[in-house]
Amino acid sequence: MLQYLVILLDDTSVAYCHAENPLRERNLIPLDTLKKAILFGMKENLMIQYVYPDYDLPEEYNEVIESIDHVKIGRDVAVYSEVPKSIAAENAVLRLSIADFIAKQYDIAAILPQVTRLNICLTDTETFKDEQAEDYKKALATFNAVLINQYKAGKQPQLNILTDRLQLKEMHNCGAGDSNITIAPNGKFYLCPAFYYDEKMGISNRLNHHKPSSERSVGNLETGLQISNPQLLKLDHAPLCRICDAYHCNRCIWLNQKVTWDNNTPSHQQCIIAHLERNAARDLQQQLKAAGFSAGEEIKSIDYLDPFDVREQF
Amino acid sequence: MIVKETRKAWQKGSAKSITFIVTKDCQLACKYCYLVGKNEKERMPWEVAKTAIDYILNHENDANFAYESVIWDFIGGEPFLEIDLIDKICDYIKTELYRRNHHWFNSYRFSFSTNGINYDSEKVQRFIEKNKKHLSIGITIDGTERKHDLNRVYKKTERGSYADVVRNIPLWLEQFPGDGTKVTISSADIPYICESVLHLYDLGIHQVNINCVFEDVWRDGDDKLFENQLMQLADAIIDRDLYKDYACSFFSENMGKPMDCQLQNQNWCGAGRMLAIDAAGNFYPCTRFAQYSLRDKEAWIIGNIYDGIDQNKLRPFLTLDRCTQSTPECVNCEVAEGCAWCQGENFDAAQTHTVYERATAICKMHKARVRANNYYWNKLYRKLELEGKREEFEANRKTNNGVVC
Amino acid sequence: MKKLVGQVTPEEKNEIQTLFERRNGLNELAKILTADNTDLYEKLVKDMGETGSKFQNWWDTMAKKYQWESAKNGNWEINFETCEIFLVTPEN
């Protein structure tokens, strides 16, 4: 069921998830389109998330934006593409390559106590090599050490890739096209901003060889949402994910389509990373319990990193 | 001492099927052929075939090739147009399997599906003689002359090919006595089903593997006509006692019942567990995912002979199950058992880029088949019981190989 | 005439099936391998002898173990699907 409406206020709105935003030319959403998008959100009872560009919007936009309850990504939620010296916002997104994540783990650890919540988002998940697993585990252990100290100091730190799993009892994933939908400045719906970027960049959607097209939209504000095969965006139609307990995994639909060519199938790399995090969350949980904290339902020990290796076979 | 081998479904389930698309050319232009991109240019070069074999044999222990046995399959177009290349490939495979002490040396087959036109040529016959113990060859003959020539016509003249195929059937049956033929049914063929199957029996073919095309070609009323044809066929097979020695895949006891999503959730199709290689050296999950087989989608290439297999591109295939790809109507269908699909056609007809959307164009034809199939078994069992021959039948019954793609 | 005279275990069947396949493979390889490919040729000749012996040995061992019925001018046959052993004798 849809719960969130993401509104890209400009083509250059900040990238806040796995996909880079390659668009460099400003293209502000027309005010009329913005109003229609808000109206759609109100009628469908959706929580609105505005995604801001790095420039100030015209005054008339601010009034419209404030007409509905919302979150401002790129404003309330700070988004960084490199590790900052310090963070002023309570909530922040840190987008990094795998190499930077590993190389700058101590810099990240240093800013961790400064925020209420930090979301780390890898920008090159699909390039992850199995040989990087040990380094990735070490970085996660570095963060675990910081988190334990924060708990001991009476805080409730949140680092998406480690602490989210402690609280979750079921899958809580990206939800593109299922729990959230994106409106672009052209007034069209997309499963998430990444699909809009691909369309704008002319990347083929592989849908129709004889009529090459980068068309990625799933409807527009005039005719409404038209998602084909919506069931394939849901957990029960994802054979690998429905048996998985890396509940915090992004299960990025865009990466699925990009790497395995099927929306419901995650790549080996996505699964490995999510399971390294899941297992590190288990370590964190055990350390917290040993220190006398309650830390959610027990995360079981498992002997695989990719659920493909233990998939249901008929 | 003699060791006799049954020729049916060799090493079913434990054999890796590796298909060489040796040419995209064919003498025929069959009207129901799903190969939309046939051409005379894309012939597999020897270097590509050799590199493919080397790649596969170098990866003996990879999960993709960890099968007890292997079926080296050759497809076209018409594979025997490239008999010189095939001969060279097979010699190389045999020699390399042996030189490397590869476990497949003890368990391999060369498989062909041919239109049969040049079956009696000197080169093809020399090849058969050389590899006889390891061959499985199916000649496609569609039935009576009028049924066969309705679809299976020469590409330039549109002349029917029946006469050129039927003359080779006795030689083929002499060399491969138990082998069956594959018959394809599209809308225009329906009136000739009964006469065609009986004609194939008359030719001495004991196993007729027959199926309706999966594409969306069916017209209003086709299901009724189809059901009537199958009932006529059922009457003929039973009344003439043909069931004792002949089999037709349309009639199977294991069909037409509801299915359970827990216990009967296996995928119908083996795409992804097979491997196909084209003239450019690209790998596919099955030939149906190569560009010449696809109407509306871009080819699903899973790697190539130089860079290997991209496992991520295979994951959707290797996680496929019946219920996840089926519509709620199919999941809840009262006669689901035995209803087939082709993963390639599912992909080609899908609304999005997925192998998880089951095409249902065949639905009404399957339901008609179920009704006729029920009629067949009810009639046959009643006859056997009245004659007191039920037990004898059970002990000696012919099995069939089910639906083929 | 063909008469069912016994049955072997699936493991025993697998053993003779592998030998049967190997023998066929060697015979067909022999048709294309020439003596100028010295190493492989020598390996093949040796292998054919060894495989033939193992093949014969299997039948001897099984016949002794199961005491199958035999007949003058008769042969035993195995069905790989059912593991059944048949005695086949010429029709008079």
Angle, helix A268-290 to helix B311-318, in steps of 10 degrees: 80
> How far apart are alpha carbons B51 and B56 in whole angstroms?
9
* Residues B215 and B338 placed together within one structural domain of the fold: yes
Do B185 and B38 share a structural domain? no
What's residue B7's pLDDT?
47
What is the gyration radius of the CA atoms in chain B, in angstroms? 21
Indicate whether B160 and B192 sit together in one domain.
Answer: no
Q: How far apart, in whole angstroms, are the C-alpha atoms of residue A251 and residue A62?
A: 33
How many whole angstroms separate alpha carbon B278 and alpha carbon B37? 13
pLDDT, mean of residues B102-115? 96
Contact (CB<8Å) B266/A267? no
Q: Are residues B204 and B342 in the same domain?
A: yes
Write out chain A residues lying below 8 Å of B315, CB-based. Answer: 240, 260, 262, 265-268, 308
- Same domain, yes or no: B165 and B97: yes
Residue A159 confidence (pLDDT): 98
> Quick check: is B26 in a domain?
yes
Read off the tokens for A149. Answer: 């100290």
First-residue to last-residue Cα distance in chain A: 31
Residue B6 included in any domain: no
Which of B5, B108, B131 has its CB closest to that of C80? B5
Which candidate from C25, C32, C78 shows the least CB-CB separation from B3?
A: C78
- For an interface test with B, the pick among C32, C53, C66, C75 (most B C-beta atoms closer than 10 Å) comes out as C32
pLDDT-based confidence at residue A313 (cuts at 50, 70, 90) = confident
Q: What is the pLDDT of residues B319-346, one digit of tens each?
A: 999 999 999 999 999 999 999 999 999 9
Is residue B3 situated within a structural domain?
no
The tens digit of pLDDT for each residue in A23-79 reads 999 999 999 999 999 999 999 999 999 999 999 999 999 999 999 999 999 999 999
| Touching status, chains C and A (3+ beta-carbon pairs under 8 Å) | no
Contacts of C75 in chain B (CB under 8 A): 1-2
Q: Are residues B251 and B120 in the same domain?
A: no
In B, minimum Cα distance to C39 occurs at B99
Alpha-carbon span B49 to B35, nearest angstrom: 21
Amino acid B12: pLDDT = 61
Instruction: Give the CATH number for residue B308.
Output: 3.20.20.70
Residues in chain A, total: 314
| Residues B327 and B358: beta-carbon distance below 8 Å | yes
What's the number of domains chain B is made of? 2
Cα–Cα distance measured from residue B359 to residue B377, given in angstroms and rounded to the nearest whole number: 28
- CA B178, CA B196: separation in Å to the nearest integer? 19
Q: Which residue, B87, B110, B109, B106, is CA-closest to B98? A: B106
Rounded to whole angstroms, the Cα distance separating A307 from B14 reads: 23
Per the listing, tokens 């040989």 go with A131
Same domain, B281 and B171: yes
CB B36 within 8 Å of CB B294: yes
CB–CB of B3 and C16 under 8 A?
yes
Distance from CA of B299 to the nearest CA of A (A): 8
Indicate whether B4 belongs to any domain: no
Residue pointed to by tokens 């008079």: C92
Per residue in B166-220, pLDDT (tens digit) is 999 999 999 999 889 989 999 999 999 999 999 999 999 999 999 999 999 999 9
DSSP string, B254-288: S-SS---TTTS---S--TTTSEEE-TT-EEESSGG
Whether residue B63 lies inside any domain: the answer is yes
Question: Chain A partners of B356 at a C-beta cutoff of 8 Å?
Answer: 229, 232, 237, 262, 264
The residue behind tokens 């002499």 is B174
What pLDDT is stored for residue A312 in this prediction?
A: 76
Q: What pLDDT is stored for residue B305 in this prediction?
A: 98
- pLDDT of C68: 93
pLDDT band at B6 (very low <50, low <70, confident <90, very high): very low
| Residue B9 is assigned to a structural domain of this protein | no
Q: What are the backbone dihedrals phi and psi of residue A189, each rounded to the nearest 5 degrees, phi first?
A: -85, 145
pLDDT for the residue numbered B34 = 74
Q: Does residue B315 have a pLDDT over 70?
A: yes
Partners of chain C (3+ Cβ pairs below 8 A): B
Same domain for B402 and B296, yes or no, is: no
Q: Does the pLDDT value for residue A99 go beyond 90?
A: yes
Choose, out of B6, B106, B126, B397, the residue to mutate when testing the contact with C (most C CBs < 10 Å): B106
Mean of the pLDDT values across residues B39-68? 94
- Are A170 and A176 within 8 A, CB to CB? no
The answer on pLDDT for C84 being more than 90 is yes
Q: What is the pLDDT of residue B296?
A: 87
Q: Check whether residue B202 and residue B349 sit in a common domain.
A: yes
Residue type for B96, please? Answer: E
Q: In what helix (H) or strand (E) does residue B164 lie, and over which residues does it extend?
A: helix B162-166
User: Do B275 and B402 belong together in one domain?
Assistant: no
Closest residue, chain B, to A208 (C-alpha): B297
Helix B122-131 and helix B83-99: axis angle, to 10°?
20
The pLDDT value given to residue A30: 98
Q: How many CB atoms lie within 10 A of CB C42?
A: 11
| Max Cα-Cα span within chain B | 64
Pick from A15, A1, A50, A24: which is nearest to A182 by CA? A50
By CA distance, what is B312's nearest residue in A? A260
pLDDT for residue B38: 78
Instruction: State the pLDDT at residue B3.
Output: 53
What pTM did the predictor assign? 0.93
For residue A239, the distance in angstroms to the closest alpha carbon of chain B comes to 6
Of A239, A261, A268, the CB nearest to B353: A261
Looking at the domain assignment, is residue B36 inside a domain? yes
In this structure, the answer to whether residues B341 and B361 fall within a common structural domain is yes
Q: How far apart are CA B182 and CA B141, in angstroms?
A: 7
Is the model's pLDDT at C92 over the cut of 80?
no
pLDDT digits over B282-309, tens only?
999 999 999 989 988 999 999 999 999 9
Q: Are A166 and A281 a contacting pair, CB within 8 Å?
A: yes
Could you tell me how many residues make up chain C? 92
> Which residues of chain C approach chain B closer than 8 Å at the C-beta?
16-18, 20-22, 24-25, 27-29, 31-33, 40, 43-44, 56, 59, 75-81, 88
> With left for phi above 0 and alpha for psi between -120 and 50, is residue A182 left, alpha or beta?
beta
pLDDT at B375 over 50: yes
pLDDT of residue B14: 84
Mutation target among B64, B263, B298 for the A interface, most CBs of A within 10 A = B298
In sequence order, the β-bridge partners of residue A71 are A49
More confident residue, B401 or A258: A258
Write out the residue range of the structural domain in which residue B279 sits.
15-175+268-319
pLDDT in tens, B114-170: 999 999 999 999 999 999 999 999 999 999 999 999 999 999 899 999 999 999 999
Asked if the structure places residue B7 within a domain, the reply is no
**Average pLDDT over every residue of B97-111:** 97
Determine the average pLDDT of the residues in A267-294: 97
Q: Do B3 and C77 touch (CB under 8 A)?
A: yes
- CA angle C75–C77–C83, rounded 5-degree value: 150
Identify whether the C-beta of residue B378 lies closer than 8 Å to the C-beta of residue B260: no
Beta-carbon separation of B94 and C28 below 8 A: yes
Shortest CB distance from C88 goes to which of B2, B6, B132?
B2
Q: CA torsion sign, A193 to A194 to A195 to A200?
A: positive
- Same domain? For B203 and B89 the reply is no
